[in-house]
Chain A
Amino acid sequence: MRGRPLEVIAGLTARELLRRRLVHALLLLTALVLVLTGWGFSRIPHLHLGGELLTPQLARLAAAQLLLLVMFMFSFVVGLTAAFLAAPAVAGELESGIALAVLARPISRAEFLVGRWLGLALPLLAYVVLSASVEFWLVAVGTGYAPPNPVGAEAALAGQGLVLLTLTLALSTRLSAMTSGVVAVVVFGAMWVAGVAGAFGSAFHNTAISAVGTVSHLLVPSDGLWRAAVYEIQPKLFASASLSRVGSPFSATSAPTPAYLVFAAAWVLLVLAVAVLSLDRREV
């Protein structure tokens, strides 16, 4: 049987993650975080307030708030991991000369690029699903709090990772590995800050500042998807609580619309197509 070039490149890329022990390191550190946070969540029902044990309702609210903080850390890890993985995935191969021998074979640039993307995207998705599922389960067992839509939250977090992965890969078809990674991380941070600013603008009914958030969510939907994940993790009452109205990055006032989720998926596909076009026109 002859392996198709796209599958061969995807398999090679995923194998590289294992061989370079990136998967081992990420899983080990994540396991450590899960153990520590699991222990921490399990202590919440035993906390006292005013000399009395927290009521189950208060314990669940506290757990929900802390879970959002933990998931923010996971979102940060997923975003940065996506950028660090994708930055050298094309630029590094071009700079080192590895791509010369590979692209001289009967393989199209599209197969090479999409193969690299798949080889990084699938392990990233698996990581998001595995780590978030275990974290949600630990919180549920320790405190009784369960996010209203854990699958939706995982999908949004994974989407955020794919946005960063695809953007960085597209950059690395033209920029050096180092520059691609740095630019992607700065964009990630800037979009997050713009999202926070937009939420403040909405809370204070300032149209101009609110537009900053809207534009950032359309420009690069990383923060938009983080807000979608937050909405699916937080208790329903958070959406209307006063806390959300001052623009906290750890709360969301409205559910992600299907139109926005479709837009985010289309954004990823469009940027991937641009990356293919960019590599196709590049001299190797």
Chain B
Amino acid sequence: MAAAGGGWQPEGQAVLTRGLTKRYGSRLALDGLDLEVGYGEVFGFLGPNGAGKTTFVKLLLGLGRPSAGTGQLLGRPLGDRSARSKVGYLPELFRYQGWLRAREVLTLHCQLAGLPAAGFSDEVGRSLELVGLAGRGDDLVATFSKGMQQRLGLAVALLGSPRLVALDEPTSALDPVGRHDVRELIRRLRQEGVTVFLNSHLLSEVELVCDRVAVVDRGRVLAQGALADLLSGEGPRARCLDLPGDALPGLGAVRRDGDWVSVPGLDSSRTPELVAAIVAAGGRVYQVDEGRASLEERFLQLLERA
């Protein structure tokens, strides 16, 4: 990607909001949202439909105005023009001018992003290549399928070496190959130090690529943090039969949940010791897990609690 961001020095956090609130009439879309995203992070913003994810991204980019609260994007106030010149954005519900060719759409966005004209052709070619549209640059956008339009949207978002890329449901129209390509693209952006803000309700997608996540519902953050912390559970457990007694030698008291047995406070790295102790005590082990919840389980737990 071109070096439009060259010479740029990061300030503050990539994304920082304090009490960000958005009302549409009597409906509260965002309810005092506090969020921090560091530079170079791949951040997953998770939530069910209508949770306020798209509203949040629009406020970050100045496409809407907060009802209350403050925020910064790349160290600048929300909606700041210079910050927007370093951001790539793939909206959730979008279209590009159907009467333009894919190459022309990208050139238009090169112009709007203020990139040097001499580099347009290379930049457009590279973006098309990145999203797998290298042979379709001269086709009219109106002839593109929804999936191809989404790939074009990604190409638009990647123009000009953005420092932050906001992707709002980037794989909603893509086939499995396309989804895989997007994940690879996000990993590549991480390697290049680009901050990725990924809005999604596709949990598997987030789980595979994100460093940190926030779970939102009805405009409020239910939980946020490193993915590993969010998914960490209550230690390893084993499903076993015929285990006598209430304690395991060398490990301590056991906790039972039906056929499941665990030792409170035991780290997942000691899973083999747990299995060995159960077998030594005469128990028969049928199933073991590290006690790490899947993102889906944790997501549903959080929503239920809310």
Task: Please list the residues of chain A having a beta carbon within 8 angstroms of any beta carbon in chain B.
Answer: 1-3, 5, 8, 12, 16, 19-20, 96-98, 100-108, 281, 283-284
> With the chains together, A108 CA to B63 CA distance in Å?
11
Q: Is the CB of A103 within 8 A of B91?
A: no
If the complex has contacts A3-B117, A284-B63, are A97 and B93 also in contact, measured as CB distance less than 8 A?
yes
Q: Is the CB of B91 within 8 A of A97?
A: yes
Which interface residue of A2, A12, A105, A284 has the most chain B CB atoms within 10 A? Answer: A105
> With the chains together, A106 CA to B65 CA distance in Å?
16
Task: Please list the residues of chain B having a beta carbon within 8 angstroms of any beta carbon in chain A.
Answer: 58, 61-65, 81-82, 84-85, 87, 89, 91, 93-97, 99-100, 108-109, 111-117, 153, 156
Q: Is the CB of A20 within 8 A of B94?
A: no
> With the chains together, A102 CA to B62 CA distance in Å?
12
Which secondary structure characterizes the binding site on chain A? Answer: loop
Partner of A104, one of B63, B96, B108, B115: B63
Chain A residues positioned under 8 Å from B65 (CB to CB): 281, 283
Q: Is the CB of A101 within 8 A of B115?
A: no
Which secondary structure characterizes the binding site on chain B? Answer: loop
> With the chains together, A126 CA to B84 CA distance in Å?
36
Q: Is the CB of B81 within 8 A of A101?
A: no
Q: Is the CB of B117 within 8 A of A1?
A: yes
- Would you give 15 A-B contacts (Cβ < 8 Å), ordered by A? A97-B94, A97-B95, A98-B94, A98-B95, A100-B63, A101-B94, A101-B109, A101-B156, A104-B61, A104-B84, A104-B87, A105-B112, A106-B82, A106-B85, A284-B64
**Number of A-B pairs, beta carbon distance below 8 Å:** 73
Smallest CB separation, B249 vs chain A (Å): 62
Partner of A96, one of B58, B85, B95, B115: B95
> With the chains together, A19 CA to B112 CA distance in Å?
20
Chain A residues positioned under 8 Å from B116 (CB to CB): 2
Q: Is the CB of B112 within 8 A of A107?
A: yes
> With the chains together, A96 CA to B93 CA distance in Å?
8
Which residue of the partner chain A has the closest CB to B118? A1
Q: Is the CB of B108 within 8 A of A103?
A: no
Which residue of the partner chain A has the closest CB to B64? A283
> With the chains together, A2 CA to B108 CA distance in Å?
11
Partner of B111, one of A8, A19, A100, A281: A8
Q: Is the CB of B108 within 8 A of A98?
A: no
